[in-house]
Structure 1
Amino acid sequence: MSSDETHTSSKSLNQEELHQDGEKAGVAQADEKNDAETDPDITSWSFPTPEAIREELSKEFTDEQKEKVWTECTEAVKTSYNQLLGRWKEEMDTLLVYAGVSSAVLTAFNVESYHLLQPDPADPTLAVLKQISAQLNGYTFTPPFLNATNSTGPVASPQVQFQAPASAVWLNSLWFSSLVFSFAAALLALFVKQWIYEGMVPGTSPESARLRQYRFNGLLKWRVGTVVVVLPILLQLASILFLAGLLVLLWTLHNIVAAIASVLVGLVFTFVIGFTLLPVFKSDCSYRSPASSAIYAVLRFTRNEVLRVIRGLCKAIYLWSMHWDSEALLHVYRAQFERLGLFAYNAYGSMPTWRGRDQNEIYRYHGNLTRAIVTTAYSTTADKRFLASMPVILSDLPSEQVPQCFRDILDFMEAEWGHWHLPDRLLLEDGITLPLCATYGIRHMLARSDRGAEWWLNDTKIIFRHYFIGKESTERLAELACKTLCHYAVQDRASRLASGLAYKTVKLLYDKQGNRHTYDTLAHAKVFYEVEMAAWDPSEGFPRYRDTTQVVYVLLHIIRATISGQSQLTASQTDAMLAWGQQEIARLCEWLRGLEWIGLHKGCLVMSGNAAESFAFPHIASHYLIKMIITPLIMLCSMPGGLALVSGELVAAIEHTWSAARLAYPDAVDVNIGFVWASGLDKIDARLVELRAVCQLPPQ
C-alpha cells in the first residue's frame, strides 16, 4: 500500500477499524473453542441455525462502534438537510424582493391602463359634437320657412354605447395576469418560508435524527423542491406577460378581462387552499404552515369533542338499557346495546396533537427511518466511510430493512452511474468495502427464519448483486465470505451464480491471496461440497459438470489447507478433516470412473440454449479436468504429506475419464483453431504425464 493510500485510509472509518475488535474477539474465541475441542465430529457438523447467526451478529460490534457510526450518519444527514433548507430560504428571500419590485412596477402601469377601457368625459371633441347635436334638434322646418322659435326644447339624442378596442382588452388582460402571477409567486414564497421554518429540527439525538429524517422524507415525497423551482418560473412568466402587454392597448373593466382574471385568481386560491389543507390530513406533507396548524387544532378540538359527546350519549343509552324491565325486548336488542357499550367504554384514541401525530408516525415507521438515515448519509455525500460502517448498524435494523438498505444503495449507484454499472474505482481501488457490506447483508438474511421462501430469495439476490471479489482482502472478509457464500449457495440451490462465487471465494481469497482458514470456514466449505456433489445429474448437461468439478476443486482445496499447517486447526481437528478428505477422495474415484460423457452430451441437446456446448465437448472436458482436478492434485502432491493422500487409483481414474471422453468424440481437432489453445485440449496429455510423475508412478 502506498503512502497516499495509507493517508487516505487513516482519515476515515474503514473496515479495518470497524472490525479490529471483532477480529481480536473472534480469534480469542476460536482459540478457546479449539482448546476445548478434543474430538470433533466432522460428519455431524451442520450450518448454524438462524438463532445462532443472530447471536453471532449481535456480538459482532461494540456499543461504542455503533454509537460512533450513528453519530457520523446523523451529522451527515443534518448537514445536508440544513444546507438544503438554507439554500431554499435564500432563494425565497431573493424571490420575495424581486416579486415586490415587480408588483410595484406592474401596479403603476395597470393604474393607467385600465382607463383605456372606459370613455373619457373630458374629451373636447365629444363635447363639441354634443353641442352641435343639441342645436340641430332646436330647429323646425315648415316649407318654405326654417323656424327655430317654435321649438319646444332640445330633444335627447340616443346615447351610443362605448366599446373598448380589442387592443385595450388584450393589454389589460396581459398586465393584470402578470400582476396575478407576481402576487402568487410572492404569496407562495411566503408559504415556502413557513414550511422551511416548520421543517427545521435541531439536535443530534436519535429522536431528533429520526424526526429530521421524517421531515426530509416528507420534503422529497411532497415535492417541495418542485414548488421552489416553480416560483421563479411564475415570476419569469409575469415578466413575459408584462412585455407582451406593451404591444397591445387596453385592459380590464371588460367581461373577458374579468373572466380571465377571475380564473387566474381562482386557480391561485385553489393552490393556496390545497397547500394549507394537505398537511392537515397528511402528517408527512411538507407544506406545513401556521394556517395548517391552526386548522388542524380546530379540527382536532371539534373531532374530539364530537366523539366525546357521542360516546357519552352511547354510555347513557347503554346504562338505561340495563334497567329495562322488558326481558323480551332486551333479548332482541342485546347485541346492539353491547356494541354501544363497547364503543362507549373502550379507550378509543383521541386525535393527537400537531406534534404528537408526527411522533406516532415516526414510531410506526421506526425501522424505515433508521435505515434511511444510514443510506441517506451515503447517497447525499457518496462518502465511502458510511458504506464501510454499514455492517455495524445492520444488527440494529429490523430484518426486513436489511435488503432495503442495499436497494437504496443500488438505486443511488444506478442514478449515478447507470443500470448494471459500477464505477471502476469500486471494483479496482477498493475490493473490500462493498463486498464486506454485501457479506454481512447476506449473513443477516441467513439469520431470518423464513429463509428459502420466494420473497427471501428475491431480497437476498438484491444484496448478492453487490458482492464481488477484489484484488485485495482481509482475513475477516475472507472468513465471513467463505462461511456466508457456502451457506447461501446451499440455501439457494437454483442460483448457479451463487455456487460459482462460493467456489471463486475459496479459490481467490485463500489460494491466491493467502488468507488462513479456520475450522469453521473449512466446515462450511465441506458441507457446500457435499451438497453439490450429491446433486450430480448428467442429464443437466455441461453446466452441472462444471459445477461438480468446481466443488471437486473445493474438496482438494480443503485437504491442501488442512495439511499445510497454516490453517487455525487443532491436532484433533486436522485428523478429523483429513480422515473425511481421504473418504471423499475414494468417492471421487468412483465418480470419475462412472462419468458418462454421452449422457452429458444428451443433456446439452435437450436443454434449450446449450446445443452449442455439445460441439465444444472436448474443449469443455479438458478445460475443467485440468483446471479443477489435475492442477490442484499436482499442487497437493507437491506439498509435504500430500503425496500419501493421492493414490495411483485416483490417477488411473482420471486417465480413464479422459480416455472415455476421447472415445466419445474421436474426431481429430484442428490445432490451428484458436479456441484449442484456451481450452487445455493442447496440454491435457502433458499435464496427465506430469501428474503421474509427481505421484511417482511409472509412465503409462
Structure 2
Amino acid sequence: MASDETAKLVAPTPATAGQSLDTMPEQADGPAWKFPTPDEIRAELSAEFTKEEKERVWTEASAAVKTYHEDLVRRWKEEMDTLLVYAGLFSAVLTAFNVQSYQLLQPGSTDSTVALLQEISSQLSSFTVSPHFVNSTRSSPGYIQSPFHASTSAVWLNTLWFSSLVFSLASASIALFVKQWLYEATVQGTSRESARLRQYHLNGLLRWSVGTIVTALPILLQLALVLFLVGLLVLLWTLHSTVAAITSTIVAFLFSFFLIVTILPVLEGDCSYRSPASLVSYIVIRHLRNRTMHILRRLTSLLCHWHAYLVGGIPPSFINRLRRFAYQRRDLDMPTWRGRDQHAIHEQVSALDRAIVTTAYTATSDTKIVSYMPTIFPDLPPNEVAKVFRDMSHFEQEEWGQGSVDVGFKKDPMVLPFLVLRGLRHMLLRTDKGTAAWREDMHYIYRRFCLPIDASANQRFAELACRTLCQLAVEDPSLIFFYKTASVVMNRTFGEGGACHTFDTLCHVKAMVDHHMGSGSLPAGFEGYRKLSAAIHSILQCIYVSVSGRAQLSPTQTDAMLLWGRQSITRICQWLRDLEWRGLHAECLARSRPGDPNLVLAFPHIASGYLVRYTIDPLLDVCSTTRGLALVPEDLVRTVEHAWSSAQLIYPARVGVDDVDFIWCSGLEVIDARLAELRAAVVTRIPTARIARKRIVHPL
C-alpha cells in the first residue's frame, strides 16, 4: 500500500495540471498531486473575494482619485487666476515705462532743427562788416547731419524692460492656456467609466507636465520683476547718482530677501518659505549632489574592483513599424474629440484601472488602500500587477528618497508581506515565465518582501507563503533567492511558529526539495553547503510534522509522506558523505567584508552552526517520536558524526567572537553532547525529549 502511495506522490513539474491549492486532498490515493496550472490559480484568486468586496474597493479608490483630481485642478485654477491679475497689473505699469524708454533708441524730432540753428549761428559769427563790404572768414560747407547712435545705457535699459514685458505677457498668455486645459480635464460623475475617463485625463496632466508649467509661471513673473528693477537702476544711474544709490540699496535689500526666502527651504526642511523657485532650486541641487555622489561611488568601485558590467538594450524593430503602417486600414475616419478619448481609454482599461488604485495610495498615503489592493488584483492582468509595485516604489522614492518605505506599514506589519505574496502569486499566471522581463518584475516585487515578527502566528500567511515561494522556486531555479526565502519562511512560520502544515503545503515543500536536489550531486562551495543544509532541514521538518501530529494529514497521507521521508534520509546520508569541508571558508569570507579578522576566526562556528541547527537539532526532534525514531538509521548518525569530525580536522580553531555582524558564537562544546544524545536514542530506540535547545549560531 505504501509503495502505491509513493508512486502517486510523484515529483511535480510546473507545466503539469492539478488540484487547486485551496482544496486539501483528503486522500493520497487519488490523482497524483501536481502544481496548479495558471488557469486554476486564476480561478482560485478570482473566487477569493466577492463581487461586492471588489466593488467596494473600486468605489473607495475612485472616490480618493476624484477628490485628489478635483483638488489639484481647483488649486491650479486659483493659482492661474492670481497670476493673471498680477501679470495684468505689472504689464500695464511696465508698458508706461517702455513708452518713454523706446524713444531713447531713435533720434529726437528737434535734433535736426537744433543742428541747423547751430550752423547758422556759426556762419553769422564769422561775418566781418566794413564800409561797402560784408566779408565772411568761414567757408560754408553746408549742413551735414551726423549719424545717430543710441547710448549704451539706452540699449541696456530697453533690452531689460522689453524682455520683462515679454516675460510678463508670456506668463499671462500661458496661464490662459492652462485654464483651458484644466477645463477640458474636468470630469463629472462617479461611475466606473467616469473614473477611467478622470484617470485618463489625470494621467495626461501628469504625463505632459502641466504641473511643471504651472510651477514655472510664477518663476517667469519673478524673472520679469528682476529685469524691470535692474533696468530701473540703469536708468537712475544715468540721471542722478544720489537717487540711484538710494534706490540701489532698496533693490539690493529686496533681492537679498528674495534669495534668502528661496534658499532657506532648500537648507531647512521645516522652513515655511516654500515657493516654486525653492522647489526648482532644491531639485537642481539634489540632482547635482546625487549625480556627483554617484560618480564618486562609481569611481571608488572601479578602484576596488577590476571588472564592470555593461547593460545593453534591444532597440525597437523599425521593419515591424513600417509593416504595420503599410497594412493599416486607411478608410477609418478620424474620431471625434470625445471619441478619441473613449478609444484611448478602451485600449488602456487595464493600465487605467491599475493607475486608479496606485493614485488612490499616492494621493492619500493611506496604507488601508494597500491592504485593499489584493482584492482587485484578480481584475488586473498579471503584468499590470507588477506595475503596481513599480508605481509604489517610484512614489516612495520621489516622496521620501531612495530605499524609503511608508512608515504607515509599521502600524500593520502584515499588509506589505501579504501584498507581496499576492503579487508574486499573480506572476505565476504569466505566460512569459523564465524570460528576462518576468525575472525583472519578480525582482521588483520580491525586494519589498519582509517577514514580520508575528508571522508565525498567522496560518493564512504561512500557507500562502509556502505555496507561492515553493512553486516559484521550481518555476525558475535560477532565482535562488526564492529557495532560500522559502526555507527561512518555513522555519519561522511552521518550525519555530505555531502554524500547521497541510498535505498541500508539504507537497509544495517536497516538490521544491526534489527539484533542487533531485540530481543527487552536491553543489560546490559554501553557497552549496547552505543550500544543502536548507534542503536537509526542510526534509527533516516535513518528517517531524508528519509523525508528531502537527500537520493536518489523514493516515494515508502520513504514510505517503513518511515513505518519501525514508527515501530522503538515504539521500541525506549520501550528501553528507560527499560533503567536502576543505575550502568552504574561502567563498564564505569572499561574500563578507574583505580582510575582516573577526569573520576569519568565526567561520568554523558559522559552518558548524549550520550543521547543528539544520541537521543535528532537527534529527533530535524527529527522534522525539516513536515513528520518527524508526525512520532514522544508525548509519545516518555515523555519517553526521563523521561530518563533524571532518569539520574539526579541517577547521580546528575554536575562537568565540561576540557581536560580529549577524554572527554570534558560543556553546560549541555541546555539539558532542547532542551527537551522543542522538546516538543513544537511535541505538536504544528510546525517543528523546524535545526541548528548546540553545541556539549556537544565527545562520541567516
Give TM class, smaller chain: 0.7 to 0.9
Alpha-carbon shift at residue 647 of structure 1 (Å): 3.9
Q: Deviations over 1:678-697 (max 9, x none)?
A: 27643311221233345574
State whether structure 2 residue 487 is matched by structure 1 residue 503: yes
Give the secondary-structure state (helix, strand or coil) at the position aligned to 2:453. coil
Q: 1:488 to 1:183 in 2, by over 3 A?
A: same
Q: Which residue of 2 aligns with 1:515?
A: 499
Matched to 2:421, the amino acid is T
- The partner residue of 2:615 within 591, 614, 629 is 629
Task: Find out whether 1:186 has 2:172 as its counterpart.
Answer: yes
Percent identical? 47
The answer on whether the counterparts of 2:63 and 2:190 sit within 8 Å (CA) in structure 1 is yes
Of 588, 591, 601, which aligns to 2:582? 601
Equivalent residue for 2:445, pick from 463, 484, 492: 463
Q: What one-letter code is carried by the residue in structure 2 that aligns with 1:170? A: W
Q: Which amino acid aligns with 2:29?
A: D
**Residue 426 of structure 2: aligned partner:** 444
Unaligned runs of 5+ in 1: 1-25, 251-342
Contact kept, 8 Å, 2:546 with 2:562, in 1: the verdict is yes
CA contact 1:623–1:679 (8 Å) conserved in 2: no
Answer yes or no: is the 8 Å Cα contact 1:626–1:680 preserved in 2.
no
Look up the match of 2:334: 351
Displacement of 1:451 in angstroms is 1.6
Q: Does 1:485 align with 2:469?
A: yes
- 1:58 is matched with 46
TM-score by length of 1: 0.72
Of 416-425 and 520-529, more deviation after overlay is shown by 416-425
How many Å apart are 1:421 and its aligned residue? 4.6
**Structure 1 residue 550 displacement after superposition:** 0.9
CA distance in structure 1 between the aligned counterparts of 2:43 and 2:201, rounded to whole angstroms: 34
Give the C-alpha shift of residue 470 in structure 1.
0.8
* Alignment partner, residue 99 of structure 1: 87
The whole-number CA distance in structure 2 between the counterparts of 1:38 and 1:223 is 60
Residues 682 and 491 from structure 1, CA distance in 2 versus in 1: closer, same or farther, beyond 3 angstroms? farther
Partner of 2:61: 73
> Any residues of structure 2 matched to 1:122-521 within 5 Å, and which?
130=117, 133=120, 136=123, 145-147=132-134, 157-159=143-145, 163-249=149-235, 348-422=331-405, 426=409, 429-473=411-455, 474-521=458-505
- Residue in 2 that maps onto 1:323: none
What letter corresponds to residue 617 of structure 2 in structure 1?
Answer: T
Deviates more, 1:66-75 or 1:568-577: 568-577
Match of 1:85 among 49, 60, 73: 73
Preserved CA contact (<8 Å) 2:523 2:529: no
Q: Structure 1 counterpart of 2:672, which letter?
A: D
Change (3 A) 1:161 1:249: farther
CA distance in 1, matches of 2:531, 2:370: 33
Which residue identity does 1:200 align to in structure 2?
Answer: T
Q: Does 1:552 align with 2:533?
A: no
TM-superposed CA distance for 1:400, in Å, is 2.1
Q: 2:672 aligns with which of 674, 679, 685?
A: 685
Displacement of 1:461: 1.8
Q: CA, structure 1 residues 508+129, in 2 after alignment: closer, same or farther (shift >3 Å)?
A: same
Correspondence 1:658 to 2:648 = no
CA shift for structure 1 position 371: 1.6
| 1:655-677 deviation per Cα after TM superposition (whole angstroms, max 9, x unaligned) | 233234334x2x64244565896
Compute the displacement of 1:471 (Å).
0.9
Letter in 1 for 2:433: R
> In the superposition, relative to structure 1, how do residues 351 and 641 fare at CA in structure 2: closer, same or farther (>3 Å)?
same
- 3-state DSSP class of the match of 1:514? coil
Partner Cα separation in structure 2 for residue 413 and residue 430 of structure 1: 18
Give 1:482 deviation, angstroms.
Answer: 0.3
- 1:165/1:249 CA distance change after superposition, 3 Å: farther
What displacement does 1:526 show? Answer: 1.2
Q: Secondary structure at the match of 1:351?
A: coil
TM-superposed deviation, 1:58: 2.1
Q: Would you say the 8 A contact 1:107–1:179 is kept in 2?
A: yes
CA contact (8 A) 2:473 2:482 kept: yes
In structure 2, the residue corresponding to 1:578 is in which secondary structure? helix
- Could you tell me whether the CA contact under 8 Å between 1:601 and 1:614 is conserved in 2? no
- Where in structure 2 are there 5+ consecutive unaligned residues? 1-19, 237-325, 687-700
Report the Cα distance in structure 2 between the residues aligned to 1:560 and 1:344, rounded to whole angstroms: 65
- 49-58 vs 194-203, greater mean Cα deviation: 49-58
- 8 Å contact 2:175–2:217 — kept in the other structure? yes
Offset of residue 424 of structure 1: 6.6
- CA distance in 2 between partners of 1:660 and 1:162 (Å): 103
Partner of 1:324: none
Bigger radius of gyration: 1
Q: 1:622 is matched by which residue type in structure 2?
A: S
Which amino acid is the alignment partner of residue 455 of structure 1?
A: A
Q: CA deviation at 1:244?
A: 1.8
Partner Cα separation in structure 1 for residue 612 and residue 189 of structure 2: 63
CA separation in 2, counterparts of 1:139 and 1:159? 21
Instruction: Name which of 551, 555, 558 aligns with 1:567.
Output: 551
Instruction: Calculate the aligned-residue CA RMSD, in Å.
Output: 3.7
Question: How far apart are residue 30 of structure 1 and its match?
Answer: 3.7
Deviation of 1:606 after TM superposition, in Å, equals 9.1
2:36 is paired with a residue of what secondary structure?
coil
Letter in 1 for 2:674: R
Q: Which amino acid aligns with 2:42?
A: R
Q: Deviations over 1:435-484 (max 9, x none)?
A: 11111111111122332233322222221112221112332221111001
CA–CA separation in structure 1 for the residues paired with 2:202 and 2:216: 20
Match for 1:39 among 6, 29, 41? 29
Q: Residue type of the partner of 2:120?
A: S
Does the CA-based 8 Å contact 2:585-2:603 persist in structure 1?
no
**SS of residue paired to 1:400:** helix
The one-letter code matched in structure 2 to 1:228 is V
Find out whether 1:578 has 2:578 as its counterpart: no
- The answer to whether the Cα contact below 8 Å between 1:452 and 1:492 also exists between their aligned partners in 2 is yes
The one-character-per-residue Cα deviations of 1:85-109 (angstroms, maximum 9, x if unpaired) are 1111111111011111111211222
Q: Distance in 2 between matches of 1:615 and 1:132?
A: 107
Contact 2:119 2:143 (C-alpha < 8 Å) held by counterparts: no
